[in-house]
Structure 1
Amino acid sequence: MPTSSEQAPRTMRAQRLDTRTLTFEVTDVPVPTPGPGEVLMKVAFCGICHSDLSLLDGTFPAMGPPVITQGHEASGTIAELGPGVTGWSVGDRVVPAAGRPCGQCPSCRRADPSSCTALALMAFAYDGAWAEYTVAQAGGLTRIPDNVSMEQAAILADAVSTPYGAVVHTGQVRVGEAVGVWGAGGVGTHVVQLARLVGATPIVAVDLDETVRARALELGADLALDSRDPDLAAKIAEVTGGEMLDVAFDSVGLKVTFDQALASLGSRGRLVGVGMSGEEWSLGPSMWFNLSRKEVRGHLGYRVEDIGVLARLVSTGRLDLSRSISGVVSLEDVGEGIRRLHEREGSPVRILVQP
């Protein structure tokens, strides 16, 4: 039997997206019941991510039921424990992982769920957290220190952890390496901060938006350039002593940003693709690519344990995410938050939904 110190209501407000018509509404639905190994979480905040917009406009296909609740960057408190859940209590402050390992692939059978090859994504394959309550696997929860705000805790699951995984795991950025970041918005701004945290130097931010470039400089970039600048390559060469970049992060995912980032790498440089779109990339002539010994690495997501590392960094003052919360909207106004992100009104990093 689930346990609870305060019985959850029978119904709740939730955003429901019909993936067949790409229309949504905020409506009353039953509060879900946590199953074995699961908890019911009362949602405090949930971010609006560009991947949410991609599901709304049909760029990314839904992976689950035709009607689904969006939102995958959530924080909250445990409201109920499902059968068999131990080590957690009602009222604990937590962040749920934004995906569920399949439990059947070779990685899961090797007890390595972070490398699951059939990960079900929250808000794409199952209901997310643009709602008053959501169900999460207890094994994917991260405890949040009391001195970390629930607003900042919410964006740890994806907006910050995905850049962390890109910088630390996929990009393997080392102290003293030169790093470039194409697109310094919701994801790229955290790539800049985390690259500085691990000791990269210099860090070059590249973005079309003057406001975004100014923010990147304030948050740790050494140089911020307009991608339309005809002297872009020369300026990167100057700041790196002619060596060009050791690691470039494409946080946009367009062909033009990929091509610029690849061309800005030095010999043996690494390009990490973080942003995604439907556009196709090209590595150019094989002779040139092979002689330069460059590498292109795709990146997606993070390890569950990364959220705990980031929570400690925020808790101890090593990582400041105060500039990352660009606004908060109510659940009833989720459409307004979506509009602001889509139109880039105010150059937002993250807009949160507060149910």
Structure 2
Amino acid sequence: MRAAVLHTLNADLSVESLEPLPPGPHDVVVAVGASGICHTDLSVRNGLFPAMLTGPMIGGHEGAGTVVEVGSQVSRVAVGDRVVASFRPACGACPYCVEQRSHLCNALGQFLQTPRGVRGDGTRANAMSGIGTFSDVMTCDEASVVRVESELPDAHLALLGCGMTTGVGAALFTAGVQPGDSVAVIGCGGVGQSVIQGAAVAGAARIVAVDPVASKREVALRLGATDALDPTSGAAAEQVRELLRGRGVDYAFDVVGAPETVTSAYRMIDKGGMLVLVGYGPMDSELRLPAFDLQSQEKTVKGCVAGSAQIRRDFQKFIDLIEAGRLVTTDMVSQEVALDDINVAMKAMLSGEVVRSVITSF
């Protein structure tokens, strides 16, 4: 198999040939049709989560494809099924899955350390999030894939594996946005654009997109934002409150993860409002928020993992919404690239040129 492998933090990925290891009894082998390139891939490469890299690692955690082989005890999918791979598994047996909180599934840790390919020098490579979608062939536990029924191209289905599900779910499930609510979204990459779409589906009356890149603000307005602000042209929180005639928003979603953007997002919420932390910050970063204001104005700060979505239930629901025209993927895919262009695509994401690049040629 051909895969993009990360060997060293703060270095480019290496596209190379590996010998896939045989699937275990609960494993499935998927011919990958497409893999999204997410900002988290860049964060892992840049050392934001150093503990993830314990050796060579096949990159990628957002993909879709077709099952070509199954282990002896696989029961959820069969050869020929179209599947979406999820960066968060749903084992179905741990306490969190049983409690309908599969986005917190306990199985992830064990999958991270499972070797999936042998490099030319004999070293073994693990797979990011237990899946490793930057590869033409992916082997993973069946808990990490969901069978779907759709005629949508893999390039669009792949977005459900992380970005779209995280963003739409953040609005619908983590926050529980209601009709008539007001929303601000800080950071309008793939996940942020999906938060905007989720808020629109929920019926939010005002959706304010906040991003320094003009092209991303334009996409946000097409995808459901009612307003778009440039945070470099003045304090973002003050701009939001000016739009809302002095009040804050009911929900502010920080999709960046930097302490300064989180603080700005907190200042945007009204009394009784909620700040939702969607973007990942460095593992050692800390936040300083005004405790008296938080308590006396009954505000809420809430973390968000995978949009609090239940992948077995929600992947197909989101597909149905896409096919009904309620969610849009066409504006999300900025470009389709080849696996060999992975590092160029990473740089395009870092510069803010794209919402989402998707690998479709392996």
TM-score normalised by the chain length of structure 1: 0.88
* Corresponding position: 1:144 with 2:151: no
Superimposed CA distance per residue, residues 166-205 of structure 1 (whole angstroms, 9 cap, x where no aligned partner): 1122111111110000111221111111100110111111
Contact 2:187/2:254 (8 A) holds in 1: yes
1:336 maps to 344
What amino acid is the match of 1:300?
V
Q: Distance in 2 between matches of 1:134 and 1:338?
A: 21
Match status 1:308 vs 2:312: no
Bigger fraction of residues in helix: 2
Listed as ranges, the matches of 1:1-355 within 5 Å are 12-19=1-8, 22-63=11-52, 65-86=54-75, 88-100=77-89, 106-107=95-96, 113-117=102-106, 119-120=108-109, 123-124=127-128, 126-230=130-234, 232-278=236-282, 279-284=285-290, 286-301=291-306, 302-304=309-311, 305-344=313-352, 347-354=353-360, 355=362
Separation (CA, whole Å) in 1 of partners of 2:293 and 2:203 = 30
Aligned-pair identity in percent equals 33
Q: Which is worse superposed, 235-244 or 205-214?
A: 235-244
CA distance in 2 between counterparts of 1:297 and 1:220 reads 23
TM-aligned CA deviation for residue 136 of structure 1: 2.7
Instruction: After TM superposition, give the deviation of residue 324 of structure 1 in Å.
Output: 0.7
Give 1:229 deviation, angstroms: 3.4
What TM-score does the superposition give when structure 2 sets the normalisation length? 0.86
Gaps of 5+ in 2: 113-126
Distance 1:313 1:259 in 2: 33
The residue identity in structure 2 corresponding to 1:246 is D
1-structure distance, mates of 2:4, 2:238: 48
| Worse overlay, 205-214 or 142-151 | 142-151
Give me the whole-angstrom Cα distance separating, in 2, the residues matched to 1:93 and 1:169. 26
How many angstroms does 1:215 deviate by? 1.6
Q: How far has the Cα of 1:143 moved from its partner?
A: 2.7
Q: State the Cα deviation string for residues 272-325 of structure 1 (Å, max 9, x = none).
A: 0111222432112x2222111111101121421322221111122221110111
Distance in 1, Cα, partners of 2:326 & 2:131: 33
Separation in 2, partners of 1:39, 1:228: 47
Q: What is the match of residue 4 of structure 1?
A: none
- In structure 2, the CA distance between the partners of 1:137 and 1:179, relative to structure 1 (3 Å rule), is same
Q: CA RMSD in A?
A: 2.3
Change (3 A) 1:89 1:127: closer
Greater shift, 175-184 or 328-337, is seen at 328-337
Rounded Cα–Cα distance in structure 1 between residues aligned with 2:2 and 2:274: 45
Deviations 1:227-260 (A, max 9, x none): 1333744543354344320000001112221122
**Distance of 2:266 and 2:51 partners within structure 1:** 31
